[in-house]
Structure 1
Protein backbone atom coordinates (compact mmCIF):
# COMPACT_ATOMS: atom_id res chain seq x y z
CA UNK A 1 0.00 0.00 0.00
CA UNK A 2 2.84 2.38 0.90
CA UNK A 3 4.58 1.66 -2.39
CA UNK A 4 1.38 2.44 -4.31
CA UNK A 5 0.98 5.77 -2.46
CA UNK A 6 4.59 6.74 -3.22
CA UNK A 7 4.15 5.90 -6.90
CA UNK A 8 0.91 7.87 -7.05
CA UNK A 9 2.52 10.92 -5.44
CA UNK A 10 5.46 10.67 -7.83
CA UNK A 11 3.10 10.55 -10.81
CA UNK A 12 1.20 13.61 -9.57
CA UNK A 13 4.49 15.47 -9.02
CA UNK A 14 5.83 14.64 -12.50
CA UNK A 15 2.55 15.67 -14.11
CA UNK A 16 2.50 18.95 -12.22
CA UNK A 17 6.13 19.62 -13.09
CA UNK A 18 5.46 18.96 -16.78
CA UNK A 19 2.43 21.25 -16.89
CA UNK A 20 4.30 23.94 -15.02
CA UNK A 21 7.27 23.76 -17.37
CA UNK A 22 5.01 24.21 -20.40
CA UNK A 23 4.19 27.71 -19.07
CA UNK A 24 7.76 28.68 -18.19
CA UNK A 25 10.66 29.77 -20.34
CA UNK A 26 13.61 27.38 -20.52
CA UNK A 27 15.71 29.47 -18.12
CA UNK A 28 13.03 28.97 -15.44
CA UNK A 29 12.95 25.19 -15.71
CA UNK A 30 14.54 22.82 -13.29
CA UNK A 31 18.18 22.62 -14.36
CA UNK A 32 18.09 18.95 -15.35
CA UNK A 33 15.09 19.61 -17.63
CA UNK A 34 16.58 22.43 -19.71
CA UNK A 35 17.72 21.13 -23.10
CA UNK A 36 21.28 22.44 -22.85
CA UNK A 37 21.72 21.34 -19.27
CA UNK A 38 19.95 18.06 -19.99
CA UNK A 39 22.45 17.38 -22.77
CA UNK A 40 25.36 18.06 -20.42
CA UNK A 41 23.95 15.98 -17.58
CA UNK A 42 22.37 13.07 -19.43
CA UNK A 43 23.92 13.08 -22.91
CA UNK A 44 22.67 14.01 -26.37
CA UNK A 45 20.88 10.69 -26.89
CA UNK A 46 18.41 11.57 -24.12
CA UNK A 47 17.13 14.67 -25.92
CA UNK A 48 14.11 14.60 -28.22
CA UNK A 49 14.20 16.16 -31.68
CA UNK A 50 12.28 19.13 -30.33
CA UNK A 51 14.80 19.65 -27.53
CA UNK A 52 17.74 19.49 -29.94
CA UNK A 53 16.05 22.01 -32.22
CA UNK A 54 15.36 24.24 -29.22
CA UNK A 55 19.10 24.38 -28.55
CA UNK A 56 19.71 25.44 -32.17
CA UNK A 57 16.95 28.08 -32.00
CA UNK A 58 18.30 29.34 -28.63
CA UNK A 59 15.29 31.57 -27.92
CA UNK A 60 11.58 31.31 -28.65
CA UNK A 61 9.06 33.92 -29.65
CA UNK A 62 6.82 36.25 -27.70
CA UNK A 63 5.42 34.42 -24.66
CA UNK A 64 6.86 31.18 -26.05
CA UNK A 65 9.90 29.12 -25.13
CA UNK A 66 12.39 27.83 -27.68
CA UNK A 67 11.06 24.32 -27.03
CA UNK A 68 7.48 25.35 -27.75
CA UNK A 69 8.64 27.01 -30.97
CA UNK A 70 10.58 23.86 -31.90
CA UNK A 71 7.48 21.74 -31.34
CA UNK A 72 5.39 24.03 -33.55
CA UNK A 73 8.06 23.86 -36.22
CA UNK A 74 8.16 20.06 -36.16
CA UNK A 75 4.37 19.93 -36.33
CA UNK A 76 4.47 21.74 -39.69
CA UNK A 77 6.47 18.84 -41.18
CA UNK A 78 4.67 16.03 -39.32
CA UNK A 79 7.76 15.58 -37.09
CA UNK A 80 9.76 14.49 -40.15
CA UNK A 81 13.33 15.82 -40.11
CA UNK A 82 13.74 14.80 -43.74
CA UNK A 83 10.96 17.20 -44.72
CA UNK A 84 12.38 19.89 -42.46
CA UNK A 85 15.74 19.63 -44.23
CA UNK A 86 13.98 20.46 -47.51
CA UNK A 87 12.73 23.82 -46.24
CA UNK A 88 14.38 26.98 -47.53
CA UNK A 89 15.16 30.09 -45.48
CA UNK A 90 12.09 31.83 -46.89
CA UNK A 91 9.83 28.86 -46.12
CA UNK A 92 11.11 28.57 -42.53
CA UNK A 93 10.57 32.28 -41.95
CA UNK A 94 6.87 31.86 -42.72
CA UNK A 95 6.45 30.34 -39.26
CA UNK A 96 5.83 32.98 -36.63
CA UNK A 97 8.81 33.24 -34.31
CA UNK A 98 11.46 32.26 -36.85
CA UNK A 99 13.47 35.05 -38.41
CA UNK A 100 16.31 34.93 -40.87
CA UNK A 101 18.98 34.19 -38.25
CA UNK A 102 17.07 31.24 -36.80
CA UNK A 103 16.27 29.90 -40.26
CA UNK A 104 19.95 30.04 -41.25
CA UNK A 105 20.97 28.31 -38.02
CA UNK A 106 18.45 25.53 -38.59
CA UNK A 107 19.52 24.95 -42.19
CA UNK A 108 23.19 24.96 -41.17
CA UNK A 109 22.63 22.40 -38.40
CA UNK A 110 20.63 20.09 -40.67
CA UNK A 111 23.23 20.40 -43.44
CA UNK A 112 26.02 19.43 -41.04
CA UNK A 113 24.07 16.31 -40.09
CA UNK A 114 23.62 15.51 -43.76
CA UNK A 115 27.34 15.95 -44.48
CA UNK A 116 28.28 13.77 -41.53
CA UNK A 117 26.23 10.93 -43.01
CA UNK A 118 28.02 11.42 -46.31
CA UNK A 119 31.45 11.34 -44.66
CA UNK A 120 30.55 8.11 -42.88
CA UNK A 121 30.04 6.50 -46.28
CA UNK A 122 33.78 6.76 -46.72
CA UNK A 123 35.02 7.53 -50.22
CA UNK A 124 36.69 6.24 -52.26
CA UNK A 125 34.48 3.18 -52.36
CA UNK A 126 33.45 0.48 -54.74
CA UNK A 127 30.04 0.24 -56.38
CA UNK A 128 28.81 -3.33 -56.03
CA UNK A 129 25.07 -2.76 -55.96
CA UNK A 130 22.33 -0.15 -56.11
CA UNK A 131 22.43 0.08 -52.31
CA UNK A 132 26.03 1.30 -52.58
CA UNK A 133 24.89 4.01 -54.97
CA UNK A 134 22.16 4.93 -52.50
CA UNK A 135 24.69 5.22 -49.66
CA UNK A 136 26.83 7.57 -51.70
CA UNK A 137 24.15 9.70 -53.30
CA UNK A 138 21.27 9.83 -50.80
CA UNK A 139 23.04 12.33 -48.51
CA UNK A 140 23.55 14.60 -51.51
CA UNK A 141 20.18 14.53 -53.27
CA UNK A 142 17.50 12.67 -51.31
CA UNK A 143 16.08 15.76 -49.60
CA UNK A 144 16.38 18.29 -52.42
CA UNK A 145 13.26 20.07 -53.68
CA UNK A 146 14.66 20.30 -57.21
CA UNK A 147 15.92 17.54 -59.47
CA UNK A 148 19.65 16.91 -59.86
CA UNK A 149 21.30 14.46 -62.23
CA UNK A 150 24.64 12.90 -61.26
CA UNK A 151 27.02 10.41 -62.82
CA UNK A 152 29.43 8.15 -60.94
CA UNK A 153 32.47 7.17 -62.98
CA UNK A 154 34.22 3.92 -62.03
CA UNK A 155 37.33 1.99 -63.07
CA UNK A 156 37.54 -1.70 -63.96
CA UNK A 157 37.26 -2.61 -60.26
CA UNK A 158 34.12 -0.49 -59.91
CA UNK A 159 36.00 1.97 -57.72
CA UNK A 160 34.56 5.47 -57.90
CA UNK A 161 36.81 7.84 -59.82
CA UNK A 162 34.54 10.85 -59.64
CA UNK A 163 31.03 12.01 -58.74
CA UNK A 164 29.86 14.53 -61.30
CA UNK A 165 26.82 16.80 -61.18
CA UNK A 166 25.65 16.92 -64.80
CA UNK A 167 22.56 19.05 -64.40
CA UNK A 168 20.30 20.77 -61.90
CA UNK A 169 16.74 21.41 -62.92
CA UNK A 170 13.27 22.17 -61.66
CA UNK A 171 10.71 20.38 -59.55
CA UNK A 172 9.95 17.65 -62.07
CA UNK A 173 12.81 17.35 -64.56
CA UNK A 174 16.32 18.38 -65.55
CA UNK A 175 17.98 18.57 -68.94
CA UNK A 176 21.01 16.30 -69.36
CA UNK A 177 23.58 16.46 -72.17
CA UNK A 178 24.77 12.93 -72.98
CA UNK A 179 27.86 14.38 -74.63
CA UNK A 180 29.03 15.79 -71.29
CA UNK A 181 28.61 12.39 -69.66
CA UNK A 182 30.71 10.68 -72.33
CA UNK A 183 33.29 13.48 -72.39
CA UNK A 184 34.11 13.02 -68.70
CA UNK A 185 34.20 9.24 -69.06
CA UNK A 186 36.88 9.56 -71.75
CA UNK A 187 38.88 12.12 -69.75
CA UNK A 188 38.90 9.87 -66.68
CA UNK A 189 39.59 6.66 -68.60
CA UNK A 190 36.51 5.27 -66.88
CA UNK A 191 35.36 1.75 -67.65
CA UNK A 192 31.80 2.17 -66.39
CA UNK A 193 29.26 4.74 -65.28
CA UNK A 194 26.26 4.87 -62.97
CA UNK A 195 23.48 7.36 -63.60
CA UNK A 196 21.65 8.76 -60.60
CA UNK A 197 19.02 11.40 -60.09
CA UNK A 198 16.39 12.31 -57.52
CA UNK A 199 12.63 12.68 -57.69
CA UNK A 200 11.52 15.59 -55.46
CA UNK A 201 7.98 14.23 -55.65
CA UNK A 202 8.97 11.34 -53.38
CA UNK A 203 8.00 8.70 -55.95
CA UNK A 204 10.80 6.52 -57.28
CA UNK A 205 9.05 4.93 -60.26
CA UNK A 206 10.84 5.92 -63.51
CA UNK A 207 9.00 8.10 -65.97
CA UNK A 208 8.82 7.39 -69.69
CA UNK A 209 11.44 10.11 -70.16
CA UNK A 210 13.72 8.39 -67.61
CA UNK A 211 13.48 5.12 -69.54
CA UNK A 212 14.07 6.74 -72.90
CA UNK A 213 17.06 8.69 -71.64
CA UNK A 214 18.60 5.57 -70.09
CA UNK A 215 18.29 3.76 -73.42
CA UNK A 216 20.04 6.64 -75.23
CA UNK A 217 22.91 6.65 -72.73
CA UNK A 218 23.24 2.88 -73.01
CA UNK A 219 23.53 3.12 -76.81
CA UNK A 220 26.12 5.90 -76.53
CA UNK A 221 28.17 3.85 -74.08
CA UNK A 222 28.26 0.89 -76.47
CA UNK A 223 30.10 2.97 -79.06
CA UNK A 224 32.99 3.50 -76.62
CA UNK A 225 32.89 0.08 -74.99
CA UNK A 226 31.75 1.83 -71.81
CA UNK A 227 29.55 -0.06 -69.36
CA UNK A 228 26.33 1.46 -68.05
CA UNK A 229 26.16 -0.29 -64.69
CA UNK A 230 22.93 1.18 -63.40
CA UNK A 231 20.54 4.10 -63.29
CA UNK A 232 19.33 4.75 -59.74
CA UNK A 233 16.45 7.04 -58.87
CA UNK A 234 16.49 8.37 -55.31
CA UNK A 235 13.55 9.75 -53.34
CA UNK A 236 14.00 10.35 -49.60
CA UNK A 237 14.72 6.89 -48.10
CA UNK A 238 13.71 4.91 -51.18
CA UNK A 239 15.41 4.12 -54.47
CA UNK A 240 14.70 2.45 -57.80
CA UNK A 241 17.40 0.54 -59.68
CA UNK A 242 17.15 -0.05 -63.42
CA UNK A 243 19.67 -2.88 -63.08
CA UNK A 244 17.79 -4.61 -60.26
CA UNK A 245 14.55 -4.38 -62.23
CA UNK A 246 16.14 -5.79 -65.40
CA UNK A 247 15.67 -2.60 -67.39
CA UNK A 248 19.25 -2.29 -68.65
Structure 2
Protein backbone atom coordinates (compact mmCIF):
# COMPACT_ATOMS: atom_id res chain seq x y z
CA UNK A 1 0.00 0.00 0.00
CA UNK A 2 1.29 3.47 -0.90
CA UNK A 3 1.13 6.03 1.87
CA UNK A 4 0.55 9.69 0.98
CA UNK A 5 2.50 12.06 3.18
CA UNK A 6 0.19 14.57 4.83
CA UNK A 7 1.55 18.12 4.96
CA UNK A 8 1.39 19.80 8.37
CA UNK A 9 -0.95 22.75 8.39
CA UNK A 10 0.00 25.89 10.34
CA UNK A 11 -3.00 25.55 12.64
CA UNK A 12 -1.68 22.10 13.59
CA UNK A 13 1.66 23.55 14.75
CA UNK A 14 2.24 24.40 18.42
CA UNK A 15 1.01 27.95 19.05
CA UNK A 16 4.52 29.33 19.66
CA UNK A 17 5.79 27.86 16.37
CA UNK A 18 3.23 29.53 14.13
CA UNK A 19 4.96 32.31 12.13
CA UNK A 20 2.75 35.22 13.18
CA UNK A 21 2.65 34.23 16.83
CA UNK A 22 6.40 33.56 16.78
CA UNK A 23 7.01 37.05 15.35
CA UNK A 24 4.91 38.67 18.07
CA UNK A 25 6.53 36.74 20.90
CA UNK A 26 10.16 36.45 19.78
CA UNK A 27 10.66 39.23 17.25
CA UNK A 28 11.17 39.32 13.49
CA UNK A 29 14.80 38.22 13.70
CA UNK A 30 13.83 34.77 14.95
CA UNK A 31 11.90 33.84 11.81
CA UNK A 32 13.36 31.74 9.02
CA UNK A 33 13.11 32.78 5.37
CA UNK A 34 10.26 30.32 4.91
CA UNK A 35 8.38 31.73 7.90
CA UNK A 36 8.76 35.30 6.62
CA UNK A 37 7.44 34.26 3.23
CA UNK A 38 4.59 32.37 4.87
CA UNK A 39 3.43 35.57 6.58
CA UNK A 40 3.43 37.36 3.22
CA UNK A 41 1.55 34.50 1.57
CA UNK A 42 -1.04 34.70 4.33
CA UNK A 43 -3.03 31.51 3.84
CA UNK A 44 -2.31 28.17 2.28
CA UNK A 45 -4.54 25.80 0.36
CA UNK A 46 -6.56 22.85 1.57
CA UNK A 47 -3.60 20.62 0.78
CA UNK A 48 -0.62 22.81 1.70
CA UNK A 49 0.09 25.30 4.46
CA UNK A 50 1.62 28.73 3.87
CA UNK A 51 4.94 27.30 5.15
CA UNK A 52 4.83 24.54 2.53
CA UNK A 53 4.09 27.08 -0.20
CA UNK A 54 6.97 29.23 1.04
CA UNK A 55 9.35 26.27 0.82
CA UNK A 56 8.17 25.60 -2.72
CA UNK A 57 9.21 29.14 -3.63
CA UNK A 58 12.59 28.79 -1.93
CA UNK A 59 13.17 25.52 -3.77
CA UNK A 60 12.93 27.22 -7.17
CA UNK A 61 16.61 28.22 -7.13
CA UNK A 62 19.63 26.70 -5.44
CA UNK A 63 20.47 30.11 -3.96
CA UNK A 64 17.19 30.15 -2.08
CA UNK A 65 15.78 33.58 -1.37
CA UNK A 66 18.30 35.54 -3.47
CA UNK A 67 16.41 35.16 -6.73
CA UNK A 68 13.40 37.01 -5.28
CA UNK A 69 15.32 40.30 -5.57
CA UNK A 70 14.54 40.45 -9.31
CA UNK A 71 11.61 38.08 -9.51
CA UNK A 72 8.48 38.81 -11.55
CA UNK A 73 4.98 37.80 -10.39
CA UNK A 74 4.62 35.50 -13.39
CA UNK A 75 7.60 33.43 -12.21
CA UNK A 76 5.85 32.64 -8.93
CA UNK A 77 2.24 32.35 -10.03
CA UNK A 78 2.77 28.98 -11.73
CA UNK A 79 3.74 27.32 -8.43
CA UNK A 80 0.87 25.16 -7.16
CA UNK A 81 -0.98 27.13 -4.47
CA UNK A 82 0.63 30.46 -5.41
CA UNK A 83 -1.66 32.47 -7.65
CA UNK A 84 -1.13 35.90 -9.15
CA UNK A 85 -2.50 37.71 -6.07
CA UNK A 86 0.00 36.07 -3.70
CA UNK A 87 2.80 36.54 -6.24
CA UNK A 88 2.10 40.26 -6.42
CA UNK A 89 2.09 40.53 -2.62
CA UNK A 90 5.52 38.91 -2.39
CA UNK A 91 7.04 40.98 -5.21
CA UNK A 92 5.60 44.19 -3.71
CA UNK A 93 7.10 43.37 -0.31
CA UNK A 94 10.51 42.71 -1.87
CA UNK A 95 10.36 46.03 -3.71
CA UNK A 96 9.50 47.87 -0.50
CA UNK A 97 12.50 46.30 1.19
CA UNK A 98 14.77 47.37 -1.66
CA UNK A 99 13.48 50.94 -1.55
CA UNK A 100 13.97 51.17 2.21
CA UNK A 101 17.49 49.75 1.91
CA UNK A 102 18.52 52.25 -0.76
CA UNK A 103 16.90 55.35 0.76
CA UNK A 104 19.56 57.58 2.34
CA UNK A 105 19.09 58.16 6.05
CA UNK A 106 18.11 61.66 6.99
CA UNK A 107 20.85 63.54 8.81
CA UNK A 108 19.98 63.83 12.49
CA UNK A 109 20.22 67.15 14.26
CA UNK A 110 22.94 67.33 16.89
CA UNK A 111 22.29 69.23 20.11
CA UNK A 112 25.48 70.83 21.43
CA UNK A 113 24.08 73.48 23.76
CA UNK A 114 20.87 74.67 25.45
CA UNK A 115 20.57 77.28 22.70
CA UNK A 116 20.51 74.55 20.03
CA UNK A 117 17.57 72.89 21.78
CA UNK A 118 15.76 76.15 22.55
CA UNK A 119 15.97 77.20 18.89
CA UNK A 120 13.80 74.21 17.97
CA UNK A 121 10.95 75.33 20.23
CA UNK A 122 11.14 79.05 20.91
CA UNK A 123 9.04 80.27 17.97
CA UNK A 124 6.53 77.45 18.19
CA UNK A 125 5.95 77.69 21.94
CA UNK A 126 6.13 81.43 22.62
CA UNK A 127 2.53 82.01 21.48
CA UNK A 128 0.89 79.01 23.16
CA UNK A 129 -1.93 79.85 25.59
CA UNK A 130 -1.49 76.70 27.67
CA UNK A 131 1.58 75.07 29.13
CA UNK A 132 2.94 72.30 26.92
CA UNK A 133 5.50 69.86 28.30
CA UNK A 134 7.74 68.22 25.69
CA UNK A 135 10.63 65.77 25.76
CA UNK A 136 13.57 65.80 23.36
CA UNK A 137 15.09 62.30 23.18
CA UNK A 138 18.78 61.95 22.26
CA UNK A 139 21.19 59.15 21.39
CA UNK A 140 24.80 58.75 22.58
CA UNK A 141 25.96 61.37 20.05
CA UNK A 142 23.38 63.91 21.26
CA UNK A 143 21.46 63.45 18.02
CA UNK A 144 17.68 63.82 18.16
CA UNK A 145 15.77 60.55 18.14
CA UNK A 146 12.34 62.13 18.48
CA UNK A 147 10.33 64.90 20.12
CA UNK A 148 7.27 63.93 22.14
CA UNK A 149 4.42 65.90 23.70
CA UNK A 150 3.89 64.71 27.26
CA UNK A 151 1.15 66.93 28.67
CA UNK A 152 -0.93 70.04 28.09
CA UNK A 153 -2.22 72.20 30.92
CA UNK A 154 -0.92 73.58 34.18
CA UNK A 155 2.50 72.26 35.07
CA UNK A 156 2.51 70.47 38.40
CA UNK A 157 3.58 67.14 39.84
CA UNK A 158 0.28 65.46 38.99
CA UNK A 159 0.33 66.61 35.34
CA UNK A 160 3.93 65.57 34.66
CA UNK A 161 4.79 62.17 36.04
CA UNK A 162 8.10 60.37 35.40
CA UNK A 163 6.10 57.38 34.19
CA UNK A 164 4.85 59.33 31.16
CA UNK A 165 8.09 61.24 30.63
CA UNK A 166 10.28 58.14 30.44
CA UNK A 167 7.87 55.69 28.78
CA UNK A 168 8.86 56.41 25.18
CA UNK A 169 12.48 57.08 26.15
CA UNK A 170 12.78 53.51 27.40
CA UNK A 171 11.09 52.08 24.29
CA UNK A 172 13.37 54.10 21.99
CA UNK A 173 16.51 53.23 24.00
CA UNK A 174 17.29 56.91 24.45
CA UNK A 175 20.62 57.74 26.06
CA UNK A 176 19.54 61.13 27.39
CA UNK A 177 16.80 63.73 27.18
CA UNK A 178 16.06 67.42 27.46
CA UNK A 179 12.67 68.44 28.85
CA UNK A 180 11.01 71.62 27.64
CA UNK A 181 7.92 73.54 28.64
CA UNK A 182 6.55 77.04 28.06
CA UNK A 183 5.20 79.77 30.29
CA UNK A 184 2.19 81.38 28.57
CA UNK A 185 2.84 84.55 30.60
CA UNK A 186 5.98 85.05 28.53
CA UNK A 187 8.17 85.10 31.63
CA UNK A 188 10.48 82.05 31.65
CA UNK A 189 11.66 82.41 35.26
CA UNK A 190 11.25 78.93 36.84
CA UNK A 191 8.79 78.41 39.66
CA UNK A 192 9.48 76.18 42.63
CA UNK A 193 7.22 73.57 40.98
CA UNK A 194 9.43 73.67 37.88
CA UNK A 195 12.53 73.07 39.99
CA UNK A 196 10.91 70.29 42.03
CA UNK A 197 9.70 68.45 38.93
CA UNK A 198 13.11 68.76 37.32
CA UNK A 199 14.87 67.23 40.32
CA UNK A 200 12.31 64.44 40.43
CA UNK A 201 12.92 63.65 36.75
CA UNK A 202 16.69 63.73 37.23
CA UNK A 203 16.38 61.19 40.06
CA UNK A 204 14.14 58.94 37.95
CA UNK A 205 16.58 59.21 35.06
CA UNK A 206 19.47 58.11 37.24
CA UNK A 207 17.54 54.98 38.20
CA UNK A 208 16.63 54.18 34.58
CA UNK A 209 20.04 55.09 33.14
CA UNK A 210 18.64 57.93 30.99
CA UNK A 211 20.23 61.29 31.74
CA UNK A 212 18.11 64.40 32.01
CA UNK A 213 20.56 66.93 30.54
CA UNK A 214 18.49 70.07 30.93
CA UNK A 215 15.09 71.63 31.47
CA UNK A 216 14.31 74.56 29.22
CA UNK A 217 11.54 77.02 29.97
CA UNK A 218 10.32 78.96 26.94
CA UNK A 219 8.95 82.49 27.32
CA UNK A 220 8.09 85.20 24.82
CA UNK A 221 11.09 84.94 22.53
CA UNK A 222 13.43 84.09 25.40
CA UNK A 223 14.27 80.98 27.39
CA UNK A 224 15.95 79.85 30.59
CA UNK A 225 18.08 76.74 31.02
CA UNK A 226 17.85 75.25 34.49
CA UNK A 227 21.19 73.58 33.85
CA UNK A 228 22.89 76.91 33.14
CA UNK A 229 21.24 78.40 36.25
CA UNK A 230 22.54 75.49 38.38
CA UNK A 231 18.98 74.61 39.39
CA UNK A 232 19.26 70.90 38.63
Q: TM-score, normalised by structure 2?
A: 0.51
Q: Secondary structure at the match of 2:136?
A: strand
1:203 to 2:203 alignment: no
1:131 to 2:115 alignment: yes
Summarize the alignment of residues 81-120 of structure 1 with structure 2, pairs less than 5 Å apart: none
Say which structure is richer in helix: 1
Residue 167 of structure 1: aligned partner: 151
Kept in 1, the 8 Å contact 2:125–2:218? The answer is yes
Q: Secondary structure at the match of 2:178?
A: strand
After superposition, the CA RMSD in angstroms is 1.8
Which protein shows a greater Rg?
2
Question: 2: distance between equivalents of 1:143 and 1:123?
Answer: 29
Residue 147 of structure 1: aligned partner: 131
Deviations 1:105-160 (A, max 9, x none): xxxxxxxxxxxxxxxxx983111111111111113211111110000000000001
Q: Secondary structure at the match of 1:176?
A: coil
In the TM superposition, residue 221 of structure 1 has moved relative to its aligned partner by 0.3
Summarize the alignment of residues 1-248 of structure 1 with structure 2, pairs less than 5 Å apart: 124-170=108-154, 175-248=159-232
Residue 11 of structure 2: aligned partner: none
Kept in 1, the 8 Å contact 2:122–2:222? The answer is no
Question: 1: distance between equivalents of 2:187 and 2:107?
Answer: 28
Q: TM-score, normalised by structure 1?
A: 0.48
In the TM superposition, residue 241 of structure 1 has moved relative to its aligned partner by 0.2
Kept in 1, the 8 Å contact 2:135–2:149? The answer is yes
Question: 2: distance between equivalents of 1:244 and 1:123?
Answer: 28
Question: 2: distance between equivalents of 1:195 and 1:142?
Answer: 16
Q: Where has structure 1 moved over 3 Å in runs of 4 or more? A: none
Aligned pairs, number: 126
Name stretches of at least 5 consecutive residues in structure 2 with no aligned partner. 1-105
Name stretches of at least 5 consecutive residues in structure 1 with no aligned partner. 1-121
Deviations 1:69-97 (A, max 9, x none): xxxxxxxxxxxxxxxxxxxxxxxxxxxxx
